[in-house]
Amino acid sequence: MSFLMNFFTFLVKVLTLPVQLIEAVGLYGIYKRVFPFLMYRVSATYNKKMHDKKRDLFSSLPEFNKPGGGPLNILEIGCGTGTNFPFYPSGCKITCTDPNPHFQKFLQKSVADNDHLTFERFVVASGEDMGSIEDESVDAVVSTLVLCTVNNVSQTLREAHRILRPGGAFYFMEHVLADPSSWTYFFQHVLQPAWYYFGDGCVLTRATWEDLEAAGFSEIKLRHIEAPLTFMIKPHIIGYAIK
């Protein structure tokens, strides 16, 4: 099984040689402009299929409002098109970060469509380094389909933990590595070399729950589910971790 898997993974890698060449000569940057259009469509479909799960997950956000009152402060990392805004409680304040500035146009549209929340600002930054956001300054940090793409998951979680106030929560909904005895696991590995380029650096084979467990949160509510999506991204983890 493992020999077959490595063989087919190698084949797919060979097939991606032209794309690797495009990256080597520095032309892959063009895809950073195209990807937001793709993500705009993909996230609409994702939201339809995951609607109830997102609604249930984010319904607990108000519990993390500061004891003294005031609006709930949310920081979203890798915000993309602002696809989670409809699920946030009325009156909350949102700051967004994403390393790709070409998402801004879509983000603005989502801001206009969701006037139940107050949009603070969009910061062009990667999850690993959000230095312009103060320590312990937000009640909740949100990451959906982002930990699959960041360069360093533990560094990103360290940043999220730094920015959260004590008692605040890190919300996540992420596709993850499948059970090693499954065909999904096999195909996640075989297709990874191609998926990486078309998914803007997305990795199918991350055991992200392990990084979450090691990130120093005091309590983690985490569920493994099979999402109603394409088989490679069916295995999901959903939940929140409290600082």
Ligand X SMILES: *[C@@H]1O[C@H](CO)[C@@H](O)[C@H](O)[C@H]1NC(C)=O
Ligand Y SMILES: C[S@@+](CC[C@H](N)C(=O)[O-])C[C@H]1O[C@@H](n2cnc3c(N)ncnc32)[C@H](O)[C@@H]1O
Which spans of this chain sit near ligand Y (rule: CB under 6 A)?
Answer: 39, 43, 77-80, 83, 98-100, 103, 126-128, 144-146, 149-151
Q: Is 152 in the site for ligand X (CB under 6 A)?
A: yes
Axis-axis angle for helices 51-58, 31-49 (nearest 10): 90
Shortest distance (Å) from residue 25 CB to ligand Y: 21
Shortest distance (Å) from residue 84 CB to ligand Y: 6
144 binds, among ligand Y, ligand X, none (CB under 5 to 8 A by kind): ligand Y
Q: Is 201 in the site for ligand X (CB under 6 A)?
A: no
Q: Name the residue among 76, 238, 64 with its Cα closest to residue 168.
A: 64
Nearer to ligand Y, 80 or 235 (CB): 80
Question: Cβ atoms within 10 A of the Cβ of 138, count?
Answer: 23
Axis-axis angle for helices 17-24, 2-15 (nearest 10): 50
Q: Is 205 in the site for ligand X (CB under 6 A)?
A: no
155 binds, among ligand Y, ligand X, none (CB under 5 to 8 A by kind): ligand X
* Radius of gyration (C-alpha) of the chain in whole angstroms: 18
> What's the CA gap between 112 and 35, in Å, rounded?
21
Of the residues 13, 32, 102, 158, which one makes contact with ligand X according to CB under 6 A: 158
Q: Is 211 in the site for ligand X (CB under 6 A)?
A: no
- Give the tokens for residue 120: 């603070």
Which residues, in sequence order, are bridge partners of residue 118? Answer: 93
Nearer to ligand Y, 68 or 131 (CB): 131
Instruction: State the alpha helices, DSSP H only, in 82-207.
Output: 104-113, 153-163, 183-198
> Whose CB is nearest to ligand X?
155
Binding site for ligand X (CB under 6 A): 152, 154-155, 158
